[in-house]
Amino acid sequence: MSQHAPAHSLLGLPKAELHLHIEGTFEPELVFALAARNGIELPYASVEELRQSYSFDGLVSFLDLYYECMAVLRTERDFYELAMAYYERASAQGVRHAEIFFDPQAHTSRGVSIDTVIDGLSRAAADAHSTLGITGGLIMCFLRDLPVSSAHETLESVAHRVGDLIGVGLDSAEAGFPPSLFAEVYSRAAELGLRLVAHAGEEGPSDYVWEALRLLKVERIDHGVRSLEDSDLVDYLRENRIPLTVCPLSNLRLGGHVAFNALPALIEAGLFVTVNSDDPAYFGGYVGDNFTQIERVFGLSQSKLVELAQNSVVASFAPDSRKQQLLAEIDEWIGVNQGSQLSARR
Ligand SMILES: [Zn+2]
């Protein structure tokens, strides 16, 4: 188990994070520090004023701020420090394996080379492994609200270094940008040996989840909460044990209580659910905080919370030997926390 997280709490429960946008871990203090270092003027007078603006009425309003803050990310060191700060926070919340999303087009469009981005994030991933024992790696996301040609160009631009990536994903504004648009680029990514995931069914309809499965051939669905609108899809997801990387606090902040309450319904439907933080700097909590919140609000039992952590390990792209190690760490945690009142322990 991580020596950085309190053993006697949910934060200490070993877990994998499978739905985390590294640019969504950009805390206001670091935004200001990098803006100063890079000589970039921010349209905010203080960290507090920027933090005050971290409130949204939906995905697109969040994305506006998410892309605005990224403007200060310029150098390999900036990406390294952004990711290292996440790994340190994640380690304190029991994360032992993290497959992190990044949005290269949001940086190359600003003149930052994709190699600068991948170099910084990869160096952080290597240091997180050597200093914190966190395994995992990088999932490169295509921005679905940009031309498909841009996704093809982005993929070809990393063909020489696919060994630095785990897989590809699809994110940004979902409504009006169906997965089917990206079938060819996903087929090319598979040819390159990359794993395949995609955001679908967050604000887009359940049909987008079908398309991601059938046309993109994804192995996991990111969010997927609107799958509940289609009982045939729920049956398919359950029968085929397709992992859903659900983000409760993100759903709450962007979709309100209806979206937030999808989690217990998905669990009740017998789906293969994992719990993740999505963009923790913006949505009020890292992955351990998500576990704490769903335990408090939904009254999930310790055994159910453990199952969610086990799901995150099994649904990961880690090698089987690493999965066995992490499942053994979870068993160790159970031994230490058998039947304890989790909410009483912080
Ligand atoms: Zn996301």
Neighbouring CB atoms inside 10 A of 110's CB total: 12
Answer yes or no: is 4 within a domain: no
Question: Which pLDDT band, with edges at 50, 70 and 90, does 4 fall under?
Answer: confident
**Binding region for substrate:** 279
What is the C-alpha to C-alpha distance for residues 286 and 82, in angstroms, rounded to an integer? Answer: 15
Return mean pLDDT, the chain.
95
Residue 341 has pLDDT above 60, yes or no: no
- The interface predicted TM-score of the complex, written ipTM, equals 0.95
Residue 308 has pLDDT above 90, yes or no: yes
Answer yes or no: is 63 within a domain: yes
Q: How far is the CA of 246 from the centre of ligand 1 (A)?
A: 9
What b/e sequence results for 122-141 when a residue is b if at least 16 CB atoms lie within 10 Å of its CB, and e otherwise?
Answer: bbbbeebeeebbbbbbbbbb
Question: Which pLDDT band, with edges at 50, 70 and 90, does 345 fall under?
Answer: very low
| Residue 179 token pair | 């997965």
Q: How far is the CA of 212 from the centre of ligand 1 (A)?
A: 15
pLDDT of residue 83: 98
Q: How far is the CA of 199 from the centre of ligand 1 (A)?
A: 7
Answer yes or no: is 1 within a domain: no
Contact 101, 21 (CB under 8 A): yes
Answer yes or no: is 8 within a domain: no
What is the C-alpha to C-alpha distance for residues 176 and 94, in angstroms, rounded to an integer? Answer: 37
Q: How far is the CA of 318 from the centre of ligand 1 (A)?
A: 20
Look at phi and psi of residue 40 and say left if phi exceeds 0, alpha if psi is from -120 to 50, else beta. beta
DSSP 201: S
What is the C-alpha to C-alpha distance for residues 136 and 159, in angstroms, rounded to an integer? Answer: 20
**Binding region for Zn(2+):** 19, 21, 199, 278
* Segment (H or E) for 331: helix 320-337
Which amino acid belongs to residue 289? D
Cα three-residue angle 48-105-185, rounded to 5 degrees? 140
**Binding region:** 19, 21, 199, 278-279
Residue 265 has pLDDT above 90, yes or no: yes
Q: How many domains does the chain have?
A: 1
Answer yes or no: is 179 within a domain: yes
Q: How far is the CA of 121 from the centre of ligand 1 (A)?
A: 18
Answer yes or no: is 3 within a domain: no
* Closest among 160, 141, 150, 299 to 222, alpha carbons compared: 141
pLDDT of residue 243: 99
Answer yes or no: is 121 within a domain: yes
Answer yes or no: is 219 within a domain: yes
Range of the domain at 76: 15-345
The model's pLDDT over 124-137, given as tens digits with 9 standing for 90+, comes to 999 999 999 999 99
Q: How far is the CA of 44 from the centre of ligand 1 (A)?
A: 25
CATH number of the CATH domain containing 298: 3.20.20.140
What positions carry a catalytic annotation?
202
Top-confidence residue, 341 or 213: 213
* Closest among 212, 223, 229 to 251, alpha carbons compared: 223
Residues with CB in 5 Å of ion ligand 1: 278
Q: How far is the CA of 172 from the centre of ligand 1 (A)?
A: 8
